[in-house]
Structure 1
């Protein structure tokens, strides 16, 4: 894995929902020695995520950095299973309340459903059309920057979703 980040309770719940809610059985996904397995992103999923308005549009005056893509199929108990993630930094976006409203409106218009209010600027989920769910988080970081993070289940961890 090329990047380490903070995993929120919302991501843990979404990840467990991916495996237990019709996206393959968790036992199927982790049977055998998963740490020895190659891990691959699902190219169709990554391509679809890269087209999502929440990842391609910014509040007025903001600037987007390049998308960073990470994927890991390791699972270290008692933590959540690792997921694929697209991460994009946004600078110059303004106050957190304005950023939250911008992404809430944009996400709602493109089919995302908001999670309850957590410690992030904005959290939402969206079905990927295969009984799996993508998870969106807009995180506030030091210096007034934000990170847009969309997590998904890597190809090797979702045997019944492909």
Structure 2
């Protein structure tokens, strides 16, 4: 015995519509990562951001290079919470400077401004700076024909015991929620 003709004609489109409406409703009404961050108390630390933006390692660059505007980010939750201030460093296409030269420039600059190098870095250069709590961590990595400079800090509202990089070098994560200036 076969199903009535109207069921065969309308069942597929009705089911597809219900699935689409459910997916849209879930995306609109379920809490976002930003909502989860606010609920957990994790938030950007304006004082840390101002201080990091003033650091020489984010305000000075080697000759013949150009720094893009600083970008702030915030990641809250698993596996760790962190805030960051990043800048992209580009060089002219004719420049033959190597990553080692850029790393040497930032190592010298960091040393003069109170940063402690991390000896076993997975990046071109990595260093920490004590802040009285969770240290700031500076990471320099090659990114195609440019370099990425990033300083990571512990966000406000995150317990001191959640300092994931107090000893081990952090992973350079791209998945951060941009925050306003």
Q: TM-score normalized by structure 1?
A: 0.69
Bigger relative contact order, structure 1 or 2 (CA pairs below 8 A, ≥6 apart): 1
Is the 1:136–1:149 contact (alpha carbons within 8 Å) kept by the matching residues of 2? yes
The structure whose Rg is larger is 2
Q: 1:67: which partner in 2?
A: 70
**Gap runs ≥5 in structure 2:** 1-35, 162-181
When residues 155 and 114 of structure 1 are mapped into structure 2, their CA distance, relative to the original with a 3 A threshold, is: same
Is the 2:67–2:88 contact (alpha carbons within 8 Å) kept by the matching residues of 1? yes
1:87 aligns with 2:86: yes
Q: 1:140: which partner in 2?
A: 142
- Which segments of structure 1 move beyond 6 Å, counting only runs of 4 or more? none
Aligned equivalents of 1:34, 1:97: Cα separation in 2: 38
Q: 2:61: which partner in 1?
A: 58
Q: What SS does structure 1 have at the residue aligned with 2:114?
A: coil
Q: TM-score normalized by structure 2?
A: 0.62
Alpha-carbon deviations, 1:72-94, whole Å to 9, x = none? Answer: 2222xxxx303101110000183
Matches within 5 A, 1:17-56: 36-56=39-59
Matches within 5 A, 1:3-22: none
Q: What SS does structure 2 have at the residue aligned with 1:97?
A: helix
Alpha-carbon deviations, 1:106-142, whole Å to 9, x = none? Answer: 00000000001323110000011x2220000001011
Q: 1:153: which partner in 2?
A: 154
Aligned equivalents of 2:80, 2:41: Cα separation in 1: 15
Aligned equivalents of 1:35, 1:155: Cα separation in 2: 11
Alpha-carbon deviations, 1:28-62, whole Å to 9, x = none? Answer: xxxxx867335321111100000000000001111
Root-mean-square deviation (CA, aligned residues, Å) is: 2.0
Q: What SS does structure 1 have at the residue aligned with 2:141?
A: strand
Is the 1:73–1:156 contact (alpha carbons within 8 Å) kept by the matching residues of 2? no
Aligned equivalents of 2:66, 2:73: Cα separation in 1: 21
**Gap runs ≥5 in structure 1:** 1-32
Q: How many residue pairs get matched?
A: 122
